[in-house]
Amino acid sequence: MDGSAGKDTSLELKDNTVIVVLGASGDLAKKKTFPALFGLYRNQFLPNDIQIVGYARTEMPHDEFIKRVKSYIKTPTKDLEKQLEEFCSICTYVWATPANTGEGQAQEPSAVLHGPAAKRVHNCFSAPEEMLLPLRMVALASFAPQVEKPFGKDLNSSRELQKSLEPDWKEDELFRIDHYLGKEMVKNILILRFGNLFFGATWNRQHIDNIQITFKEPFGTEGRGGYFDEFGIIRDVQQNHLLQVLTLLAMERPISFSSEDIRDEKVRVLRAMPAIEPKNVIIGFAMPTFCALVAYIKNERWDGVPFIMKAGKALNEQKTEIRIQFKDVTSGIFKDIPRNELVMRIQPNESVYIKMNSKLPGLSMQTVVTELDLTYRRRFSDLKIPEAYESLILDCLKGDHSNFVRDDELDASWRIFTPLLNYLDDNKEIIPMEYPYGSRGPAVLDDFTASYGYKFSDAAGYQWPTTSAAPPTGCSVGR
């Protein structure tokens, strides 16, 4: 597929843009949004005469706001320090308490931003239950919002939230972020799949036995216990991040790279997926910080192939990866050798490698597992991988919806997960399985994945080298 096919070359940055960061006093803004905006600024990807306005309920003097903006931005050189000061000079902050926002008094972003300079505004925030009032405010100035997940808590709340936005916002004015769609390796899935003919020939139920999409973090809720009590790992990671990855893996070839053609194919995947069944799920820890579940796609390409989605906190390592396990050699002299696997490491240490069987050098015909390896830090050592939010904010500024979630896509994703969420809420007697902090998860995990066809083979201690071409010392693969 031609890399330029279907791309709207008319997309361009608009001068005199104003960006409003709603929830500017929160962690998301401090850790992600402002560092991403600075990354775009220092690489000259922001429009001319840009203005950035932080908005939140927290009363805060300007100096304190600038201190927060700088807190997660590293400036190892004098030039970067100078650029950061220049960046901070275009940032301002306004605040409002629930009382004065309710009365529509001063400190409203719409009041601050009216005028000939304010042509477009993109808003980034993360608290869905508090988004409506600020959106109504900026709607007065007719600006386009960029909405961070989670968008609702289930199918009904998502639909209600969407309906409440309809009076002020058209669908093509909304940019619903799932930041995984901005990650370099996730964006590479379409190229790997449709730009390499040999993958296309085997990308189906005749050759693939199972697909695992894994999210692991080595720390717990880290001050977000209240959030996790309400949302849990399923809403936080699986219904959005991992499901988005699944749609890109499973979709048919779009007729072009245009945003609607891509999103049409993703929606077709979701509509072919039945709701997650509780029997295909295990939950872990004292609150839902771990979940492994299995989804199926009822179409000609994927019918019968289990998509195993695992997500957990307080585990043994940090990684997000896709592991596609091909079927066994069915007969003959090599029927007992390990399966081939295609692994896409999304983070950290972005890479793509294929586990393959080869002859061990020597006089025997002994086989050994090795890999065809594309590790980004070695192959693209002179290129910087942008942060996901940098990529998505830039897409939003250009008006490119390709990597954002459409309304019918959101609706279809909640339809898949809501019955499971309701089942877990209604059956309080279900006790999550405890697992030790720093482990791989509940003790039954290996048996669970094996029951859906996954075969782990240590292959005589095979390990994938995670950082260099030196003798491998990285983590054992496959789990």
First-residue to last-residue Cα distance in the chain: 33
Q: CA gyration radius for the chain? A: 24
Burial 163-186 (b: 16+ CB within 10 A, else e): eebeeebeeeebbbbbbbbbbbbb
241 is catalytic: yes
Phi-psi bin for 314: left (phi > 0), alpha (psi -120 to 50), beta?
A: left
From 114, 122, 179, 241, active-site residue: 241
DSSP-derived 3-state class of residue 370: strand
Tokens 């031609």 belong to 2
Both structure tokens of 399? 């008006």
Q: Rounded to 10 degrees, what is the CA torsion of 214, 217, 218, 221?
A: -140
Among residues 145, 400, 393, 423, which one has the least CA distance to residue 261?
400
- Cα separation, 427 vs 445, in Å, equals 22
In whole angstroms, what separates CA 275 from the centre of its chain? 21
Alpha carbons 167 and 161: distance in angstroms, whole number? 12
Burial class of residue 194, CB neighbours in 10 A (0-12, 13-18, 19+): middle
Which whole-number Å values give the CA distances from 296 to 245, 273, 324, 452, in the listed order?
A: 14, 6, 15, 11
Task: Give the catalytic positions in this structure.
Answer: 241
